[in-house]
Structure 1
Amino acid sequence: MARPESDPKTPLAARLRTLRREIGDPDRDVVAKAVGVSKSALASYERGESEPTASVLRAYSSEFGADLVWLLTGDGAMRGGAAQQLVAGSSSIGDIVRLPRFDAKASAGNGLIAVDQMPAGEVAFGREFLRNLGANPEYCYILEARGDSMWPTIPDGALLIVDSSKTEVDDGRIYHFNVMDKVLVKRARWSMDGKLHLTSDNQAAGYPPEVFTADRVHELSVGGRVMFTGHAPMPVR
């Protein structure tokens, strides 16, 4: 006899469980494979012990027609809700992708605490525009940069398009890094001895690089590569 499932700890967890049951997947095999996670990770999402990433939520939408607004807020229909109907009614359905926007502000300074990692909304972009950036449209999300350490490349308040499919750290590229409980936007530099240096572009401000050796790898994860920086015209300094 199967063990009864415990009650979900969060509204999102409850909606994920409801959706899976609606799909008719009691053992989680179909959903886990479709969204690209293990069955144990899926069970953790549905208990509310952990939260799915933006790419996983998008997979729920693309694979099962789940409405992202419903997933995130509970408003509207589970599948084929108002937001999807609006897009479906347009002749440009294949040309538009809605990127999740996160309230967690990535620091282009000394690091901000990542308080809320759930998407706070969506922003529509042209699929071709994202492809021309070299990004995978299905894996992009938006963060806001705070601080001046990446000036003038990334000014304070800039909106960043990040591609979560690009987690291999190349020398000289800018990435969204999660370092313990901090969210950072830094340029990656590899030294000859194999150390990873998270560096700032604003050298005049004197921000020291953060250096990661093999024994510190567990402290670092890569959210994705910054593909585009959007901001208002900057004042003359």
Structure 2
Amino acid sequence: MDKLEAKLTGVSRRTLSDYVAEKSEPKASTVIEIADATGVSVAWLMSGDGSPTSGSRSLANDNVVRLPRFDARASAGRGLIPVNEMPVGEVAFARDFLRNLGANPDYCYILEARGDSMWPTIPDGALLIADASKTEVDDGRIYHFNVVDRALVKRARWSMDGKLFLTSDNVAAGYPPEEFTADRIDELRVGGRIMFTGHAPMPLR
């Protein structure tokens, strides 16, 4: 990795070298930034399979973007593995559709929700579009959080004294909110804000 590549991607030369040597793994937003800066597809960047430019995020139609889909599943429950793995594919969406959601198309990615803690807002198995550019946590919005070795999809709630609570929508299930104060902030990373929830018809409950 040379200095120009590091400058283009906004990632330090040493960090890029660690990625190449598989000493560390980039988060979803970093993968997207590197792919966009270097003009290659996310899938090729992570796996080396196929052509660097085939299936790139920007297609011939400028109104279409391919979002990387990650195999990691964020739990709408008690937490599964974080999204720091290779994408398993890409899904095409219209840029206008994503912009109408208020999302930045170039920073969106797809993951799958597991569990019932966010029901009925987000049912088990729903595919989620998250925006990695939206990492400022606003009260009442739903985010993909990485908490140490867990990935969570939770609604953020701020208390008057500055504490952050990750809460569930399924009140009847009794999921307790998870509290974060200043001494725990290093355990928490925001993957992105959930901008869209797609799912099959839900069964009666």
User: 2:118 is matched with which residue?
Assistant: 150
User: 1:165 is matched with which residue?
Assistant: 133
Residue 236 of structure 1: SS of its match in structure 2? coil
Per the TM alignment, residue 107 of structure 1 is displaced from its structure 2 partner at its CA by 0.4
What TM-score do the two structures reach when normalised by structure 1? 0.81
Asked if the contact 2:157/2:166 (under 8 Å) is kept, the reply is yes
Partner amino acid, structure 2, of 1:159 = L
CA gap 1:74/1:231 in 2 versus in 1, 3 angstroms: same
CA distances 1:131-175 after superposition (whole Å, capped 9, x unpaired) = 000000000000100000000000000000000000010000000
CA gap 1:44/1:136 in 2 versus in 1, 3 angstroms: same
Residue 59 of structure 2: SS of its match in structure 1? helix
CA distances 1:192-226 after superposition (whole Å, capped 9, x unpaired) = 11110000000011100000111111111110100
Residue 168 of structure 2 is aligned with which of 194, 200, 203? Answer: 200
Asked if the contact 2:75/2:153 (under 8 Å) is kept, the reply is yes
User: 1:180 is matched with which residue?
Assistant: 148
Residue 175 of structure 1: SS of its match in structure 2? strand
Residue 211 of structure 1: SS of its match in structure 2? strand
Asked if the contact 1:103/1:116 (under 8 Å) is kept, the reply is no
* Displacement over 6 Å in runs of 4+: none
CA gap 1:112/1:68 in 2 versus in 1, 3 angstroms: closer
Residue 58 of structure 1: SS of its match in structure 2? helix
Select the structure that is richer in helix. 1
Per the TM alignment, residue 185 of structure 1 is displaced from its structure 2 partner at its CA by 0.3
State the identity %. Answer: 68
Asked if the contact 1:55/1:138 (under 8 Å) is kept, the reply is no
5+ residue gaps, structure 1, are: 1-19, 21-27
Greater gyration radius = 1
CA gap 1:111/1:54 in 2 versus in 1, 3 angstroms: closer
Indicate yes or no: 2:107 matched with 1:135.
Answer: no
Per the TM alignment, residue 115 of structure 1 is displaced from its structure 2 partner at its CA by 8.0
User: 1:217 is matched with which residue?
Assistant: 185
User: 1:98 is matched with which residue?
Assistant: 66
Partner amino acid, structure 2, of 1:42 = L
- Aligned length, in residue pairs: 205
**Inter-partner Cα distance in structure 2 for 1:113 and 1:66:** 27
CA gap 1:174/1:50 in 2 versus in 1, 3 angstroms: same
Asked if the contact 2:126/2:198 (under 8 Å) is kept, the reply is yes
**Inter-partner Cα distance in structure 1 for 2:34 and 2:147:** 28
What TM-score do the two structures reach when normalised by structure 2? 0.93
Per the TM alignment, residue 36 of structure 1 is displaced from its structure 2 partner at its CA by 1.7
RMSD of aligned alpha carbons: 1.9
CA gap 1:55/1:110 in 2 versus in 1, 3 angstroms: closer
Residue 28 of structure 2 is aligned with which of 54, 62, 71? Answer: 54
Asked if the contact 2:67/2:108 (under 8 Å) is kept, the reply is yes
CA gap 1:214/1:40 in 2 versus in 1, 3 angstroms: same
Asked if the contact 2:74/2:83 (under 8 Å) is kept, the reply is no
Flag the structure with more relative contact order, 1 or 2, with Cα contacts below 8 A and sequence separation at least 6.
2
Residue 113 of structure 1: SS of its match in structure 2? coil
**Inter-partner Cα distance in structure 1 for 2:82 and 2:123:** 20
5+ residue gaps, structure 2, are: none
Asked if the contact 2:140/2:156 (under 8 Å) is kept, the reply is yes
